[in-house]
Amino acid sequence: MPSTSTRLLALILFIATAGPSASTTRPEKTGPPGLQKLDAALKGRASRLTGRSRVIVQMARGASANSLSTLIRVAGGSSGRELRHIGARVVELPNAALLALAGHPLVAQISQDRAIAGAMERTGATVGATVVHRDLGYDGTGVGVAVIDSGISAHDDLVDGSGSRVDRFVDFVNGREAAYDDYGHGTHVAGIIAGNGYDSGGARSGIAPGVGLTVLKVLDGAGGGHISDVIAALDYVLDNKDALNIRVVNLSVATGVYESYRTDPLTVATQHLVEAGIVVVAAAGNNGRDPSGQVRHGGITAPGNAPWVLTVGASSHMGTIDRNDDTVAGFSSRGPSAIDYVAKPDVVAPGVGIESLSDPDGTLYTTRAQYLLDGTVATSYKPYLSMSGTSMAAPVVAGTVALMMQANPSLTPNEVKAIIQYTAQIRGWYDPLTRGGGFLNAEGAVRLAQYLNSPWSQSYPDSTMWAKRITWGNQMLLGGRLTADANAWATDVTWGALETPDGQAVEWGRLCSNWRCDSTSGHWRWGQAYAVNVVWGPACDGADCDGPWTGNVWDTSDEGDTVVWGTTDEGDTVVWGTTDEGDTVVWGTSCSDVDCEPVIWNGK
C-alpha cells in the first residue's frame, strides 16, 4: 500500500494537472492554498502528519461525483455516504492530506463531520394548544411531521383508531427496518408533538395529536451521531415530502458552530428544505450558562444558527398554566450566533420538566429512572418521563406549526416564523437575545394563521397580549400587521434579506398608524422604511437604558468592529461593541435571578 507521503505527492501532482484551470479557483485570503476551505476544527488538524478525520467534502460547482471520488482515492481517503442535495460526500481522510485536497478546484469546502447529540401535562394549556384543540378543532390531522432523532418505540399514546401514527421509519444508524429507539430521546420528543395522552387519561397529550410521523433515526443508543446522518435524513425528507405530506421537521439534535451558516453542510442542507416549503424547527442548545453558572451569550448551536431555521429556546411554565409566571430557563442558549452574529433564538417555549413518553428499552429509562412517571391506566412499565432542555421546547413549536398548517396549508416557512413571533407574548425584562420574539402563544399563532387563510371572512384576531413585532435579520420591526400577500413570505426570500431576488424591497404587511390597524389606518405597505428598531440595543444616555430597543445597529464587520460577550468582574453579563465611528454601543441590562436594573456597560 502506498505510504502517506507517496499519496500526498500523487495528490499534489493530480491537483496540478486535473480539474478546472487555476483561474477558476476561489481566491484565498491568507495561508496555504485551500486553508480557507477548511472549517475551524480542520484548520488545526491540517498540520498533523498522523491521524485521520471524518469529513464532509462539498463539490465545487460543475464538478462530477466520479472526479471527486478519484480525487479522494488519490488522497488516501475512503468515500462514504453521498449527500446528494448539497453535492457532498462523507470521507475518511488522512489529516496530512486535508490542505492538498482542499486546494483542489473540484472542492468547494471541507467540514468536519461533527458529532451531534440530543440537545406535558401543563405545557399544552400554558401555550394555548388545549384551546386550539377544544375551540378551534385543530389537532394536526393530515399534516406530516418528520422527527430526526434517536428513533421511536411502540407506545399506547402513539396509537389511535386507525393504528400507529408512525407513517414511516428509516434507520440511518444501523439500517434496521422495524421501528425502535435504543436511547429514548426520540420517543420523548415524538410524544411532545403527537402523543394523545392515552395512558394518562388525556392529561399528558402532545401539542398536535393528529399528525402523521416520519421518524428518521440518526442518534445511537448513547445519544450520539454525526451531522452526515442528519443531512442524509434531511435528504430523505426532501425526496419524500410529497408522498408523506411532510410540512415540518423537528431537530432536537445539535452540534457546535465552527463555520458560517453559509458554508456549514448541515445548515446548507436545511436551507434546501426551507426553499421547498418545509418548516425546519431546531433546538437553540443548552449553553445559556458557563461552567461557573454565569449567564453567557453566543451559545446557539447548529443548525439553529441559520436565519432560515425556526430556532427555539426554553422557558419554564413554573408548574402552572398561568403565563404570567413563566420564565426563560437559565440553561437556554442566548444569541447572537457565533461567527455570523445572527439574532437568535426566534422564540422560547416550555422546556423545563416536560412530561412525555418513556421508552422501556431506551438508555434514558435506566439513567433517568428517578424522573419516570406512572400513568392512570395499568401498564407494564412507567409510561412517562420528565425531561428538560431546548430539545423539549423545539417539539412544542413543531407541534404548533402543524396546527398552523392544518388551519392554513398555504403557509410558507417565513410566514410561519413571522406569525409565531408576532403573536408571541413578552414577559419580564428579558432581552431579545434571550427570549427571541417572546413566549410561544400557540392559540394566537393558529388564530392568525386561520385568518390569513381567509381574511375576507373574519375580523383580524388582534390581541393586546401579542408582541406585534418580528425580528427580521438583526432588525426589530414594529407598527404593522402581517398580510398574506407580503413578498417576505416567498420561499426564495431568505429571512433577514432586504430585497427579494428580483430586487424588490421586502415588505411584511400593512403599516399601522398610532398602533391602530383598523379600517381608518390606511393601506400603506409595512416595509423596510419602518424598521427603525434593532435587536442590538441603544447607546445609552446617562443611566437610562430603558426601552424602546432603538438606536445604532451593533454588529461586526470585515472593517474590524469589536464584539465581546462575557461577564464583568462582578458577574454581570456584558454584550458590547463599537460603531464605525468608534462610539461605544451598549446593549442590555444587569439582571439577578428575578430583577433587572438598567445599567450602562461600556466594555471596560
Positions marked active-site: 149, 185, 391
- Grid cell digits, residue 302: 447548529
C-alpha closest to that of 112 among 263, 298, 301, 219: 263
* C-alpha–C-alpha distance, residues 145 and 279, integer Å: 10
483, 470 Cβ separation under 8 angstroms: no
* C-alpha–C-alpha distance, residues 110 and 516, integer Å: 52
DSSP string, 205-240: --S-TT-EEEEEE-S-TTSEEEHHHHHHHHHHHHHH
* C-alpha–C-alpha distance, residues 187 and 14, integer Å: 49
Q: What angle do CA 350, 428, 339 make, to 5 degrees?
A: 70
Strands 163-164, 533-534: pairing is unpaired
Amino acid residing at 423: T
Helices 227-244 and 265-275 meet at what angle, rounded to 10?
Answer: 10
Neighbouring-strand partners of residue 110: 38, 57
Amino acid residing at 334: R
Strands 163-164, 212-217: pairing is unpaired
Q: How far apart are the first and last CA of the chain?
A: 59
Residue with cell 439574532: 343
* C-alpha–C-alpha distance, residues 30 and 33, integer Å: 8
Q: How many other β-carbons are positioned within 10 Å of the β-carbon of residue 73?
A: 15
Burial environment of residue 532 by CB neighbours within 10 A (0 to 12, 13 to 18, 19 or more): middle
